[in-house]
Amino acid sequence: MEREHILVVEDEESILELITYNLRKDGYHVTGVMSGEDGIEEAYEQSPDLVLLDLMLPGLNGLEVCKKLKNNKKTENIPIIILTAKGEESDIVAGLEMGSDDYIVKPFSPKILLARIKAVLRRTPVSAISEDTPVAVSGLSIHPGRHEVLIDNKPVELTYTEFKVLHFLAGRPGWVFTRYQIVESVRGDNYPVTDRSVDVLIVGLRKKLGNYGHYIETVRGVGYRFKEGLTIPSAAS
């Protein structure tokens, strides 16, 4: 039985064939196109479960495609994984800020590709995460209602911003967020911030979390994420 439907938008025929072969081998239904315009048309018509989107496309590039799909009510909730050549950090950041869910740097192995796809498909949509939802990671618990963080049942003193950032990241394990997205989640649009100020905040937060600090991972040139597979809904009320 076929699994989810994946739309692949990739203009290099050899890469498109390789991706399509491996996805079909793993049981996915796959549609492949070689231009951004065709990608948008197929996404509107078929509403795939996920889009693999190359950034370097002829005509309409990947960032423009991503923007159009995320700005359309019919396709805004379709997960997008962007494919990028090594060193295009600014494009990765731009893609994430436009709403893409993850990225893969070329060249990549089929095993890595399949693992990333499975991870994105099983995630809870960011928009569905409530700011009031408690989360727990082994001995770490975060309770927004009480504005309380406990490590092995001992309270940890965090500033308002540190608490909000920790809950934001821990409630969305595996998601990569740019520094701008992190600040936007805490303070809202147009709050003045520098990359350095976010980095300093993360350093301080890791220090206060002790052994749990390494759960906040640095994604070089892009931003931060909380280790995937570690957080669970808290039983606290």
Residues 187 and 84 in one domain: no
Residues 222 and 189 in one domain: yes
Judge whether residue 134 has pLDDT over 80. Answer: yes
Judge whether residue 2 has pLDDT over 70. Answer: no
- Enumerate residues 6+ apart whose C-beta is below 8 A from 5: 28, 29, 30, 31, 46, 48, 49, 50
Calculate the CA dihedral of residues 88, 121, 205, 105 and round it to 10 degrees.
-20
Residues 117 and 28 in one domain: yes
Tell me, what CATH number does 58's domain have? 3.40.50.2300
CA 186 to chain centroid, in Å, comes to: 17
Residues 87 and 134 in one domain: no
Pair of tokens at residue 156:
């940890």
Q: How many domains does the chain have?
A: 2
DSSP secondary structure, 165-178, as one string: HHHHHHTSTT--EE
Q: For residue 107, is the peptide bond before it cis, meaning its omega torsion is within 30 degrees of 0? A: yes
**Containing structural domain, residue 14:** 5-122
pLDDT value of position 188: 55
Calculate the CA dihedral of residues 40, 44, 47, 51 and round it to 10 degrees.
10
Boundary of a domain, candidates 101, 122, 143: 122
Residues 25 and 96 in one domain: yes
Residues 10 and 115 in one domain: yes
Tell me, what CATH number does 201's domain have? 1.10.10.10
Instruction: Tell me the pTM.
Output: 0.76
Residues 214 and 162 in one domain: yes
More confidently predicted of 211 and 189: 211
Residues 117 and 179 in one domain: no
Residues 153 and 46 in one domain: no
Residues 214 and 111 in one domain: no
> 3-40: per-residue pLDDT in tens?
899 999 999 999 999 999 999 999 999 999 999 999 99
User: What value does the CA radius of gyration of the chain take, rounded to a whole number of Å?
Assistant: 19
Are 75 and 100 a contacting pair, CB within 8 Å? no
Mean pLDDT confidence for 141-156: 92
Judge whether residue 237 has pLDDT over 60. Answer: no
Mean pLDDT confidence for 194-204: 84
DSSP state of 102: E
Residues 116 and 90 in one domain: yes
Boundary of a domain, candidates 96, 122, 148: 122
Residues 75 and 116 in one domain: yes
pLDDT value of position 107: 87
Judge whether residue 115 has pLDDT over 60. Answer: yes
Judge whether residue 215 has pLDDT over 70. Answer: yes
Mean pLDDT confidence for 211-236: 78
Helix (H), strand (E) at residue 120: helix 110-122
Boundary of a domain, candidates 122, 152, 171: 122
